[in-house]
Amino acid sequence: MSEPHVSVRHVTKEFGAHRALTDMSLDVTAGEVVVIVGRSGCGKTTLLRLIAGLEVPDAGEVWLAGRQVAAAGRSLLVPHERNIGFVFQDLALWPHLTVRQNVEFVLESGGMPKPERTSRVQEALATVRVEELAARYPHELSGGEQQRVALARAIVARPAVLLMDEPLSSLDPDLRTTLRTELLRVQRASHVTMVYVTHDREDATVLAHRVIEMRGG
Amino acid sequence: MWGAWSSRTAVVGLALAVFVVCCLLPSGYLLAVSLGSATGLSALLIDARQRQLLSTTALLGVGTALVATIIGAPLGAALARVTMPAKALLRLALAAPVLFPPYIVALAWTYVCSNWIYTPGAAILVLGLVFYPLSMLATEVAMRRVDGRLEEAALLVAPRARVLRRITLPLVGPAVLAGGLVIFVLAISEFGVPGLLRVRVYTTEVFTAFAALYDFGRAIHLALPLLLLCLTVAAIAAWLVGDRLVTTSRPVGVRPVAFDDWRRAATTSVVAVLTIALVLPIAILVREALGARGLGAVLAGSREAIANSLWLAAVGATVVVIVGACLGYTRARAGSIGGRLADILLVVVFAVPSTIVGIGLIGLWNRPGAAGTVYGTDAMLVLGYLARFVPLTALALAANVRYVPVSQEEAAAVGGAGWLRTMWRIVLPQVRLGLAAAWMVALIMAFGELGVSILVAPPGEATLPIRVYTLIANTPPSHVAALALLQAAIVFLPLALLAAAMRVRERR
């Protein structure tokens, strides 16, 4: 069996008196889609934030592509160097930037030349079919369009791992089905490793190579 | 929920009437007198002398806004995002300079900088050191309101410095700009500092025209351009900030991203600013006062002024908070458009320069009949406090009331409680800390008020600021320093109480 692409080893995380995760372990192989289901408050989001580097574990380790990125009480690699794409539950589109600028911001830090950046942004927007919305601001988009832009922003840098935190939870059933199919298409085309958090069993059925149910951290 | 015949109508109606009479009518009177006559209208066509006045006034405003923002905005960012010990106390200490009467700070610097201090540049620096807390607080509030997830999303792809520059700062930009505009308005409205530092601006000229030359017409003539400038800039500032003046919520469960990498720089800046803006002026006054001879006689001679100041400030603060609470409640429960218009109106009224408020009050009340019985009494000073401080108090208390859900009032109403009972038992107990803080701030501001007081105080009556200001010209500096220090100490007392309350709250 190949080395796991994402490896969470015996991680514990507490927020004050509340223990979000207790001795949690998870391995995800390259190109795999793992869907994590579970009730609200069981630690799903905390797990994603630990992988992304937005939280530091109190105990245990986090490894990405064979490299340790977090140990107990400290981060060994800052979030922007972990090569991760993240779609937040509330999408977190930057309201003062246009769709194009939202997506391009991700590439600016890497020092990529402008022409290449432009072409990559165009490609990402085309992948999720929102090229015509490039000049608009987030508040000028519908919920589904915002969702697509958030996905474009997450994939434009061609991350090794895509983390998704209930990205479809705020959409109506028809739009959920459409975007779920879209997401599946993007993942199958790019073979990106994906950890997808949801409480919707249908998301799990359609997208997952493997489903993990979390109970109380 | 509450019908037109409920007690709310009477109470809020009364508060609105007080607001109209005290806050709107003085400026309205000046505008009507100025614009209602051909000579008044000519005030808008300013001559060469006025152009010089306008350019100095504008320089003072722009310079002060820049200096205050350069000092205040980074401090606000640090308070919002850098972990520091005893932050509530630090915040209060950093905010203290704005509560001191600005002319006292200016007075302190005149003792150590002899020639250079009497220039517009020095006035800008002094006012910048007095008003930076406004930029600091505006920036801190805006930084705390930024959705932490927006920054987290950026942190996944960019280092902290870039996230701050590209995501955080643009999001707080409008609030920082609005803070700068408010400081601009306050600086061009300021009378004490330019008067003391002999910088000729509109406010000092208005005062001179009225108090020295007894030319009421010229005072009004000079007041009009200043009033219009203040109202315009304040309206722009209020429009920029929008609903955020009163709405202070932020997304639940999202912690703001900390910028602790800059803790050392932040701590150094805090210490430097506290030293220059707070410790040094007080130390200079102490040094000067220690050389005083016959200080006992000076203090004894000022006893009446101190007593006047204290009781008038206490009465003024109480009335200001009562009226401000009623208006704040009304604002908090207003719809979005009405609320926004109310915010703009309150900010605009707050921006009216004190000398203009004073002249407006005199114009309104110095006349035969019932109004004349008020003029020449201490009530004029209370009216002045109301005119100056009700708008700010109403805005602050509106933000407090917004935290009390309307559903709690609805539950009380369903249970059969009237509006007054609901206020007394449900709403006010939940905003009591805000009310106490508002009262203390109003007390401090009323105690140090000079611009209106010096114009409307009854003959023979003086508050402590008036006495200090008038003694500057003909009393040994050590005596003036001692009185100024006494005034600062009296301001410090409620501030220390506020700090203690905040400390207790922070520990919880």
Does residue B261 sit at the A interface (CB-CB below 8 Å)?
no
Does residue B157 sit at the A interface (CB-CB below 8 Å)?
yes
Contact B295, B486 (CB under 8 A): no
pLDDT at A136 over 80: yes
For A109, which of B152, B153, B162 is closest by C-beta distance? Answer: B162
For A52, which of B156, B166, B170 is closest by C-beta distance? Answer: B156
Residue A37 main-chain phi, psi, to 5 deg: -115, 165
Tokens, residue B385: 């406090």
For B159, which of A80, A153, A157 is closest by C-beta distance? Answer: A80
- Mutation site for A-interface testing, chosen from B150, B151, B156 by largest number of A Cβ within 10 Å: B156
User: Poorest-confidence range of A64-68, A159-163, B436-440?
Assistant: B436-440
The reported pTM is 0.77
Tokens, residue B138: 């505006």
Q: Name the percent of chain A lying above pLDDT 70.
A: 98
Give the model's pLDDT for residue B243. 61
For B157, which of A54, A80, A95 is closest by C-beta distance? Answer: A80
Give the model's pLDDT for residue B45. 63
Q: Do A105 and B166 touch (CB under 8 A)?
A: yes
Segment (H or E) for B365 = helix B354-365
Tell me, what's the ipTM? 0.78
Give the model's pLDDT for residue B252. 47
pLDDT at B480 over 80: yes
CB-CB neighbors (< 8 A) of B152 in chain A: 54, 79, 88, 92
pLDDT at B508 over 70: no
User: Poorest-confidence range of A190-194, B32-36, B189-193, B230-234?
Assistant: B32-36
For B152, which of A85, A92, A108 is closest by C-beta distance? Answer: A92
Give the model's pLDDT for residue B69. 96
Q: Which residue would you say has higher pLDDT here, B489 or A27?
A: A27
Contact A167, A147 (CB under 8 A): yes
Task: List chain A domain ranges.
Answer: 30-54+78-211
pLDDT at B437 over 90: no
Give the model's pLDDT for residue A76. 94
Q: Which residues have CB under 8 Å from A198's CB, separation 6+?
A: A35, A36, A37, A166, A168, A169, A204
Contact B194, B123 (CB under 8 A): yes
What is the pLDDT of chain B when averaged over all its residues? 85
User: Quick one: residue A38, left, alpha or beta (phi over 0 = left, psi -120 to 50 = alpha)?
Assistant: left
pLDDT at A165 over 50: yes
Quick one: pLDDT band at residue A217, thresholds 50, 70, 90? low
pLDDT mean over B370-376 = 84
Residue of A nearest to B174 (CA): A96
Q: Do A79 and B156 touch (CB under 8 A)?
A: yes
Tokens, residue B236: 């722009």
Q: How far is A49 from chain B (nearest CA, A)?
A: 10
pLDDT mean over A50-73 = 94
Q: pLDDT tens digits, residue range B67-111?
A: 999 999 999 999 988 988 888 888 888 998 888 888 889 989 998
Give the model's pLDDT for residue B242. 67
* Fold type of domain B59-290: MetI-like fold (1.10.3720)
Tokens, residue A57: 């574990």
Q: From residue B80, give the alpha-carbon distance in Å to each of B134, B140, B411, B440.
A: 14, 5, 36, 24
For A105, which of B147, B149, B157 is closest by C-beta distance? Answer: B157
Q: Do B167 and A85 touch (CB under 8 A)?
A: no
Q: Do A94 and B154 touch (CB under 8 A)?
A: yes
CB-CB neighbors (< 8 A) of A108 in chain B: 158, 162
Q: Do A94 and B158 touch (CB under 8 A)?
A: no
Contact A87, A196 (CB under 8 A): no
Amino acid, res. A93:
L
Amino acid, res. B360:
G
Q: How far is A100 from chain B (nearest CA, A)?
A: 15
pLDDT mean over B20-36 = 86
Q: Name the percent of chain B lying above pLDDT 90.
A: 28
What is the CATH class of A30-54+78-211? alpha beta
pLDDT at B117 over 60: yes
Does residue B167 sit at the A interface (CB-CB below 8 Å)?
yes
Q: pLDDT tens digits, residue range B423-434?
A: 888 889 888 888
Beta bridge partners of A214: A38
Q: Which residue would you say has higher pLDDT here, A2 or B115?
A: B115
pLDDT at A33 over 90: yes
Q: Do A79 and B251 touch (CB under 8 A)?
A: no
What is the CATH class of B1-37+294-508? mainly alpha
CB-CB neighbors (< 8 A) of B167 in chain A: 94
CB-CB neighbors (< 8 A) of B149 in chain A: 88, 90, 92
pLDDT at B246 over 70: no
pLDDT at B360 over 80: yes
Q: pLDDT tens digits, residue range A168-216?
A: 877 788 888 888 888 888 888 888 999 999 988 888 888 899 999 988 6
Residue contacts between A and B (CB atoms, under 8 Å): 52
Q: pLDDT tens digits, residue range B172-181?
A: 888 888 888 8
Q: Do B158 and A157 touch (CB under 8 A)?
A: no
CB-CB neighbors (< 8 A) of A78 in chain B: 155, 159
Q: Using CA atoms, how far apart are residues B397 and B326, in angstroms rounded to an integer?
A: 9
Quick one: pLDDT band at residue B66, thresholds 50, 70, 90? very high
What is the pLDDT of chain A when averaged over all its residues? 89
CB-CB neighbors (< 8 A) of A88 in chain B: 149, 152-153
Give the model's pLDDT for residue B231. 83
Give the model's pLDDT for residue A120. 93
- Burial of A156 (C-beta count, 10 Å sphere; 0-12/13-18/19+): buried
* Selection from B210, B211, B234 nearest residue B223 by Cα: B210
In chain B, where does the domain assigned CATH 1.10.3720.10 lie? Answer: 1-37+294-508, 59-290
Q: Do B154 and A105 touch (CB under 8 A)?
A: yes
CB-CB neighbors (< 8 A) of B170 in chain A: 96
Q: Do A80 and B147 touch (CB under 8 A)?
A: no
Q: Which residues have CB under 8 Å from B275's CB, separation 6+?
A: none
User: Poorest-confidence range of A44-48, A67-71, B346-350?
Assistant: B346-350
pLDDT mean over B338-343 = 86
* Selection from B310, B464, B321 nearest residue B386 by Cα: B321
Q: How far is B251 from chain A (nearest CA, A)?
A: 11
Q: pLDDT tens digits, residue range B118-162?
A: 999 999 999 999 999 999 988 988 888 888 889 999 999 898 888
CB-CB neighbors (< 8 A) of A106 in chain B: 157
SS3 state of residue A75: strand
Give the model's pLDDT for residue A64. 95
pLDDT at B273 over 50: yes
Q: Which residue would you say has higher pLDDT here, A151 or A2?
A: A151
Amino acid, res. A99:
V
Residue of A nearest to B159 (CA): A80
Residue of A nearest to B156 (CA): A80
- Mutation site for B-interface testing, chosen from A13, A46, A78, A80 by largest number of B Cβ within 10 Å: A80
